[in-house]
Chain A
Amino acid sequence: MIVNGPISSGSYAIAGAGNPPGLLPAREQMALSLGWHIILACFGVAFPTMIYVVHRRGIRRNDPIALGLARRWSKVSAVLFAIGAVSGTILSFEMGLLWPGLMGRFGDVLGLPFALEGISFFVEAIFLGIYLYGWDRMPPRRHLAMLLPMGFAGIFGTFCVLSVNAWMNAPTGFRIAADGTVTDVNPWRAMFNDAVWLQFAHMWVGAFMLVGFVIAAVYAVGMLKGRRDEHHRMGFTVPFVFATVAALLQPLVGHILGLQTGDRQPAKLAAMELSLNTEPKAPLNVGGFLVDGHLRWALSIPRLGSIIARNSFTRSVPGLNDVPADQRPPANLVHWSFQSMVGIGTALALLVALFWLARWRKQDLLQRRLFLRLAVIAGPLAVIALEAGWVTTEVGRQPWVVWHILRTADAASPSPWLWLSYAVAFVVYVGMTIGAVVVLRSMARRWRAGEEDLATPYGPGAGPADDSAPSDSTSGYPAAGDDTATSTLR
């Protein structure tokens, strides 16, 4: 079905003529940095909770397999947190280097949650340090408790960062005077803006989805290769349970958030739905492209658009034609990333539902190679869904950086070095990705080879302390059945 609309070609491009030359590289660099960092941020938010579960089980039940998992995961998290911390540092520099027009004018409006997030970053970094070095050096229970502040800091930090992003979508807590200056600043109002709670919920659940599916996928690969021991089973199941809860919850959260978007940012919803004319009983356009102002190759399902996007049989879905031409986001990109996110999210929800349904019917899908293959694919798919979601909301907000207040073009740095800076950033990110993959893979390989303590190559002498910890019963952790050690160390 093809819908016609009087939209001239090119009006959806935002980096058009008249924009400062720094706009495109600044946006690209920011997108790269955020898109890269968000994956590690997810691990920072969700991984400590999962480690807590296996670590607690290991202590409570004297389960050496669970303890082994916790030990390995904590080493993996050390690598991920370290590079996550540097990519987080990159972002805080980039706020100023790339977007001085935003920070100079609105820094005191949006800055407070960042300052609070700094506290949670501190807490995470401090307790991560304690936790990593606490293996075999602290009484087990106190050691386990070191994960709790990390988990809470993750929640709080997510809220703070999402609060800034939500503020960009629903700016409040200030007034613009006649001469353009920002007055009457209320940073708490800006922080607790109308959009923050749902955006936070969406991202927080998303973090557990991503980490749950990615880690489960790692162990699914192992099982496909024939490593069907209890270690792999638990390594799969624990994150998969988290992913299950998250994947089933996420459609609901996302739906409510989408409803809000329609009220707050009609242009964004119009782009997400690829809706041209504001119409009641709007159809749902699956796929499709906007070409020269016409909707092509879309599968249009009558009335479903209003039902899904507006929760109503009759309420209209906003159309791009009602948005002034210079305020339209690039609709195709927004639409496709939105539908990728929704499509993948739905598929993942079905996958977890299938697994537990089969389990309820006394069937173990972990014995089926097809299911394991799907579980492997689910890892990268969860990453893509999260990235697609961010592309949707960020590109859908264009051409504004602060909705209807400040254009992205006016926020970008005029520096002539931005393309070079983007090129260097690109190389650095590629390098860090390769470095992380090489190191993580080699860790996995050495673990499989039975090398539990991953010694450092810098000899002679003992390696860095956290690597030379033994995994046997001489440590503070009891071997199975050894009760006396726990009681004396309590």
Chain B
Amino acid sequence: MSSKIIELKDVNKWFGEFQVLKDISLTVNQKEKIVICGPSGSGKSTLIRCINRLEEHQEGTIIVDDTEISADTKNIEAIRAEVGMVFQQFNLFPHLSILDNCTLAPIWVKKMPKKQAEELAMQNLKRVQIDDQAFKFPGQLSGGQQQRAAIARALCMEPKIMLFDEPTSALDPEMIKEVLDVMVDLAKGGMTMIVVTHEMGFAKEVADNMIFMDEGRIVEKAKTKEFFDNPKSERTKLFLSQIL
């Protein structure tokens, strides 16, 4: 237990002149669930996007599953295949059926036989409870269903880590719960998860640790109970008082 899977050390990142990440250091253990919150523009999304290098950091080291991620990383695809990501806008492939969305990467990246990939996809679609929608196209599904399909698609790569970038922010209120239920189920199954979200109820239920970010810095990192009951920094207190 508690072996490191992600390690960030003094990570700095700039968008032009603007510094989005300032001296970020963070360690994530296997099976740990971390929820990152903070005001918009605080760098939370950028942080998790650096972990699978959808964004490049300029300073510091990021180590994912014993491989350092940098411009020299030869096989960034192999790392990405181990790190599932769920986006705010779902980003399903609209030209493919839900089933094909799920089997595309296993077949072409992991070279899995088609039949096996389809079985795996149906298994995961069942897990997120949309196996009856497998042959529809993304455009025919509701937002909540699309996001669950996106989670299933990521799961089909059998990732070691799952990153969630505000997965419920683009959803209608009544659909948020169905997505959160799937995520809770996933957390209970022992997945390592980093979740950027404003759903504090979800955070209280599943998170081991909470991170509060503001202006590119990690302002506070604490055990979940401590974070909500007894936040240390004034900025965190202010944020929590507004959001709860």
Q: Is A bound to B?
A: no
Which residues of chain B have a CB within 8 Å of any CB of chain A? none
